[in-house]
Amino acid sequence: MHALETVDVDFRYPNGAHALQGVNIKIRTSSKIAILGPNGAGKSTLLYLFNATLRPTSGTVRLNGAPMKYDSSSLRSIRQKVGVVFQNPDEQLFAPTVKQDVSFGPLNLRLSVEEVEKRVSESLDLVGMSGFENLPPHNLSTGEKKKVAIAGVLAMEPEIMVFDEPLSGLDPKGQADLTELLDQLNADGKTIIVTTHRMDFAAEWADEIWILKNGKVTKKGVPNEIFSDMSLIHGANLQVPMPIQTHNELYLRGFCNKQVPLSVLELVESVIEYSGENDYTGHYALAKEDFAPLDDCFIGFENGVLVASRDDFKNCFARCRCTGQVHKGKEIPIDLSDVPEGKVWIVRTPGAADGGAEMMPATVVRGLIDSRKPNRIGAMGTVAKSIVKNTGLNYDFGSEVVNSAVSASRRGLSTMIFATGKMADLAAKRIAYLNQRMGEEISFQMVDGEL
Amino acid sequence: MQFLEQFTLTNKLNGVSGKLKTLFAVLTLLVCSFSTAYIVPLLVFCIMFAVTVVVAGIPLRFYAKLVLAPAGFGLVTFVLMMFFFGKEPFFSVHAGNLTLTATKDGFDMALISVGRMLGSVSCLLFLALTTPMADIFALLKKLKLPDVFIDLSMLIYRYIFIMVQEALRMEYAQKMRLGYSDVKGSFRALSLLAGNLFVRSWDNADKMLTAMNSRGYEGIIHVLEDDSPIPRMHLLGLAGFELVLVSLNLILPR
């Protein structure tokens, strides 16, 4: 089923600029789509066509299979189904307070005041902006404005959400939060379409990439297909993501296998796998305690010195087994070829719609953590994050959670991931996918958090 | 950039109904400007000052700065009126061979005019420093003012801040390239800034309309209003207060 489809779409602006020329795009329902292309390629024009803000000069746009109509009642239904978040939130926010701005869309859908109130608080909750209801927009930072702009569109409960340059102007933490939010929306079944110039984001996030140049589609495909075609990428004024560039250089020098990595994790795996035996001999760490053979030892840097400890500690990055008798203060040989398996547990937490963080008391979370003793804790989604924080603990992984957990597991550390609602399935799917890509078998287990 | 508006979000009267605060300010302003006894406006000033500075916790220094400008004008007006209006002689000032005679009726007129002015200023300052715009819009809507009027005010309010920021950014950009280094250059830079600001506003308005359309805008802005009613006791208290002020006018000498 295709959520959106353009058939031979042409678009000319009144000044004669031929922005789109015979564009044929098909977007599967519930997929994550990135549209890439140089400035002026027609990306924004295309987005405006998706929610009937612009009308094609010729050709048709199909929504859920039916050609779009442009009378006022059809327009209302199209705009409810397809939400657009603009690049500059100042263009979108107009009301005196955050709450009033978010209520604008749902009130235009002629919903009851109670329903609107409910949607406003739910969508502000989802983007993590509850508590800001009565502030005027000019009191917010760019990142906060962006979240409010997203909430304003979310409150209309669209099936398809279109984002023009969602990451622009955000700090790294803001970008990570936003990426997570996009995943969360997608996990709830929404089709997500973004335009972006951030290649690393597109490579890791998207299910499918479309490249637009001079108003025409020049290529579409899954990320590794797209990014293995260097000349295509450069031809579209784009850049190859850093892991892929590094991979390319290493591959040409014979240090890794051929498969194009989409993330740093995949790149590292590709190198390790190719080098065959993990030759870590010759590495030594300072023993902080006495060690007997086969003892667990946790390795990490402390004040610039590589140390080994019997207990997990903050900067520890790997766990392995001690090979012989070592006394405190002596150097311990590290053999990372015999790393015990690090488990991954995925705990499904309630979502905002199920009542939020209050539905999972701190004692339950503590119980889960104490019974399984993970080395690291990850949290995906706003609700899961506050659930973990309610216990007084802090999560170690708040962004790129699954990648970090898999990477930790390869180094012998186990992780418990708290994930909101459908994000849990998403995490499981992602681990299965990484296992398949890397030819590894990271074992993971779903734990029911709704006790 | 610090706006007066900042205080509306942080003052200690934040929990009080915005509609009540608006009514309080506007009614007192009306009573004050029609007062005939000079004591009433001065009383209004003292009460408003106390409510704004002591109760709402607006810093005294900041408040004083805001009052100082109108008070300066008031002083000049006072002197002018006392000496140049009226007929009945009051007292005289001798400066060298120049004699200025103040008049009794001029003095009375000056007292009541300047009193009214200060009282009204204090009412407006109370409103501006303690009441968020959104609450004022809510009251206007309740009073059934035309939608077009309220929609326009809402957009203007929001866009003041965007335009100020835009103008500031442009000014910085000009200053960085020595835009205001001499008088002629200043005029040139200012005219460029103003022209550019107009074009950008036009452009922004266009983009905003697109964004609003994409959220289903059909000509009238619908947003959730705070429609919590003003507590009856508060309303009664307000009515009592205004009545006292009005009756003071009737009792006290003119």
Question: Mind spelling out the 3-state secondary structure of B80-124?
Answer: HHHHHCCCCEEEEEEECCEEEEEEHHHHHHHHHHHHHHHHHHHHH
Chain A residues with beta carbon closer than 8 angstroms to that of B214: 51, 53, 79, 83-84
How distant is the Cα of B146 from the closest Cα of chain A, in angstroms? 17
User: What local confidence, expressed as pLDDT, does residue A209 receive?
Assistant: 94
Please give the Cα distance from B129 to B147 (Å, whole number).
Answer: 26
Given an 8 Å threshold on Cβ–Cβ distance, is B154 in contact with A96? yes
Please report the beta strands in chain B, taking only residues with DSSP state E, as ranges in sequence order. 89-95, 98-103
User: What is the spatial distance between Cα A27 and Cα A404, in angstroms, rounded to a whole number?
Assistant: 30
Chain-chain contact of A53 with B154 (C-beta, under 8 angstroms): no
DSSP calls for B135-157: HHHHHHHHTT--HHHHHHHHHHH
Do A191 and A162 contact (CB within 8 A), yes or no? no
CB contact under 8 A, B225 and A53: no
Read off the pLDDT of residues B79-136 as tens digits, 9 standing for 90 and up.
888 888 877 777 888 877 888 888 888 888 888 899 999 999 999 999 999 988 888 8
Question: Parallel, antiparallel, or unpaired: how do β-strands A18-28 and A2-12 relate?
Answer: antiparallel
- Mean pLDDT value of segment B158-169: 87
Q: Check residue A277 and give its pLDDT.
A: 53
* Inter-chain touch A53–B157, beta carbons under 8 Å: no
Q: What is the pLDDT of residues B231-247, one digit of tens each?
A: 888 889 989 998 888 88
Q: Which stretch of DSSP H or E encloses residue A446?
A: strand A444-448
Q: Give backbone dihedrals phi and psi of A309, rounded to 5 degrees, phi first.
A: -135, 155
A185-205 pLDDT, tens digit each: 998 899 999 999 988 899 989
Give me the residue from A86, A116, A117 closest to B211, CB to CB. Answer: A86
Alpha carbon of residue A385 to chain centroid? 15
Contact B215 A79 (CB under 8 A): yes
Put simply, whether A79 touches B (Cβ < 8 Å) is yes
Rounded Cα gap, residues B155 and B153, in angstroms? 6
Q: What is the mean pLDDT of residues A250-254?
A: 82
Q: Where along chain A do the CATH 3.40.50.300 domains lie?
A: 2-235
Nearest Cβ partner for B208 among A72, A91, A139: A91
CA-to-CA distance for B179 and B166, rounded, in angstroms?
16
Exposure of B202 in the CB half-sphere (CA atoms within 13 A)? 6
Pairwise CA distance, residues A181 & A385, whole Å: 13
d(Cα A45, Cα A55) in Å, to the nearest integer? 10
Q: Do A100 and B134 touch (CB under 8 A)?
A: yes
H/E element, A285? strand A284-287
What pLDDT does B182 receive? 84
Min mean pLDDT across A20-29, A115-124, A273-282, A436-445 is at A273-282
C-alpha to C-alpha distances, B142 to B56, B137, B158, nearest whole angstrom: 25, 9, 21
What's residue B27's pLDDT?
92
Q: Would you call B132 and A136 a contact, using CB atoms and an 8 Å cutoff?
A: yes
User: Are the beta carbons of B167 and B46 closer than 8 angstroms?
Assistant: no
Tokens of B212: 């609003």
* pLDDT above 90 as % of chain A: 31
Dump strand ranges (E) for A13-57. 18-28, 32-36
Residue A273 and residue A291: Cα distance in Å, rounded? Answer: 30
Instruction: Pick B204's closest partner by Cβ from A48, A91, A138.
Output: A91
Alpha helix locations (H) across A13-112?
A: 43-50, 72-81, 89-92, 98-108
Over 80: is that where the pLDDT of A36 sits? yes
What SS3 state is found at A19?
A: strand
Give the pLDDT band (50/70/90) at residue A450.
very low
Can you tell me which residue has the tokens 């409910």?
Answer: A118
- The answer to whether residue A211 scores a pLDDT higher than 90 is yes
CB contact under 8 A, B225 and A100: yes
Helix, strand or coil, per DSSP, at residue A213:
strand
Residue A262: CB atoms within 10 Å: 24
Residue A328: alpha-carbon gap to chain centroid: 43
Provide the CA A195 distance to its chain's centre, in angstroms: 15
Owner of token pair 């479309």: A210
CA A39 – CA A110 distance, rounded (Å): 38
Q: Read off φ and ψ for residue B102, nearest 5 degrees.
A: -85, 150
pLDDT recorded at residue A449: 52
pLDDT score recorded for residue A281: 54
Average pLDDT, chain A: 87
Please write the tens of the pLDDT for every residue from B24-73.
999 999 999 888 888 888 999 999 999 999 998 888 998 999 999 999 99
In DSSP terms, which residues pair with A345 in a beta bridge?
Answer: A416, A445
Confidence category of residue A410, pLDDT binned at 50, 70, 90: confident
Confidence band (pLDDT; 50, 70, 90) for B200? Answer: confident
Q: CA-CA distance, A414 to A373, in Å (whole number)?
A: 8
Give the length of chain B.
254
Cβ–Cβ under 8 Å, residues A377 and A392: no
Q: Give yes or no for A109 touching B (CB within 8 A).
A: yes
From the number of C-beta atoms within 10 Å of its C-beta (0-12, 13-18, 19+), residue A361 rates as middle
Question: Is-contact B18 B131, C-beta < 8 A?
Answer: yes
| Chain A residues inside the 8 Å CB shell of B212 | 94, 104
> A112 touching B, CB under 8 A?
no
Q: Is the pLDDT of residue B227 over 50?
A: yes
- State the burial class of residue B247 (Cβ atoms within 10 Å of its Cβ: 0-12, 13-18, 19+): exposed
Chain A residues with CB inside 8 Å of B221's CB? Answer: 94-95, 104
Rounded distance, CA B122 to CA B44, Å? 8
Residue A356 has pLDDT above 80, yes or no: no
- In B, which residues are within 8 Å of A136 by CB distance? 5, 9, 132-134, 158, 161
Q: Which residue has the tokens 């922005």?
A: A19
Q: Do B214 and A108 make contact, defined as CB atoms within 8 angstroms?
A: no
- Residue of A94, A115, A145 to mutate when probing chain B, most B C-beta within 10 A: A94
Yes or no, beta carbons of A105 and B9 under 8 Å apart: no
Residue A282 has pLDDT above 90, yes or no: no
pLDDT at A350 over 80: yes
Delimit the CATH 3.40.1010 region(s) of chain A: 344-448
Residue ranges of E strands in A147-207: 160-164, 191-195
Q: Assign domain A2-235 to a CATH class.
A: alpha beta
Does the CB of B5 have a partner CB in chain A at under 8 Å?
A: yes
Q: How far apart are CA A341 and CA A414, in angstroms?
A: 8
Mean pLDDT, residues A161-175 taken together? 90
pLDDT reading at A451 higher than 50: no
Residues with Cβ within 8 Å of B67's Cβ and at least 6 positions away in sequence, in order, are: B118, B121, B122, B125
The CATH number of the structural domain formed by A344-448 is: 3.40.1010
